[in-house]
Chains A and B, each alone.
Chain A
């Protein structure tokens, strides 16, 4: 069964360092998302992406964050200068439909900022 894959599963980084989280969405999906979940808290929307541009972004998604679809398969989230509060599980998701119908989530990338 097709699935969303994310790498790395866990990354530890020093504060101020750049981090790139990678996702391979399901191949025929057109809409891509990043969410994050700080330990023990709710899942928060970061950004949605369609047709090579951002559709919507949250207040969390400030200038330190960027997304890119560098080729036909990967979808990346970059954090330019990580802060301690960026420590969280980051989930990539994809869907076939505009506006969220069912989202297919990856297993997540756990980011730990020291």
Chain B
């Protein structure tokens, strides 16, 4: 089974619209993180939400976590062309020492 699966796999929206990306996972977690990756570049940390938190905001980003459904969503409001990238959720399984398990990622395209 895979930990951290995002949907949709690809999302195309118009600049100014909101983008919602979802992530599901299978095991209990300590925290869940979202990362962004521009094409051919490294991953950049966006936001971390702990298992005892339900919602978190950072600028135009809003993350929710539902541990009962083992799911998280990332909302980017008022999207910009510069938000075009791949977005990954990553989980830190409860009891695991030190590794993050990444999903396959969502490719977001924001049309100007």
Q: Interface residues, chain A, CB within 8 Å of chain B?
A: 4, 31, 33, 35, 41-45, 48, 50, 55-56, 58, 91, 93, 98-108
Taking CB atoms, residues of chain B closer than 8 Å to A31 are 98
Q: Is the CB of A48 within 8 A of B43?
A: no
- Closest beta carbon of chain B to A61's beta carbon, Å: 11
Q: Interface residues, chain B, CB within 8 Å of chain A?
A: 30-31, 33, 35, 41-45, 48, 88, 90, 92, 96-105
Most chain A CB within 10 A, of B41, B42, B43, B102, is at B42
Q: Which residue of chain B is the closest to A106 with respect to CB atoms?
A: B42
Contacts A42-B104, A99-B92 known; A48 to B97 CB distance under 8 Å?
yes
Contacts A43-B43, A43-B88, A106-B42 known; A100 to B100 CB distance under 8 Å?
yes
Additional A-B contacts beyond A48-B98, A56-B97 (9; CB < 8 A): A4-B42, A33-B98, A44-B102, A93-B43, A100-B33, A100-B90, A100-B99, A102-B48, A108-B41
**Cα distance A4–B101 in the bound complex, in angstroms:** 20
Q: Is the CB of B33 within 8 A of A102?
A: yes
**Cα distance A56–B30 in the bound complex, in angstroms:** 17
Taking CB atoms, residues of chain A closer than 8 Å to B96 are 56, 99
Q: Which residue of chain A is the closest to B104 with respect to CB atoms?
A: A42
- Closest beta carbon of chain A to B25's beta carbon, Å: 13
Contacts A99-B30, A99-B92, A101-B48 known; A48 to B99 CB distance under 8 Å?
yes
Taking CB atoms, residues of chain B closer than 8 Å to A106 are 42
**Cα distance A93–B44 in the bound complex, in angstroms:** 10
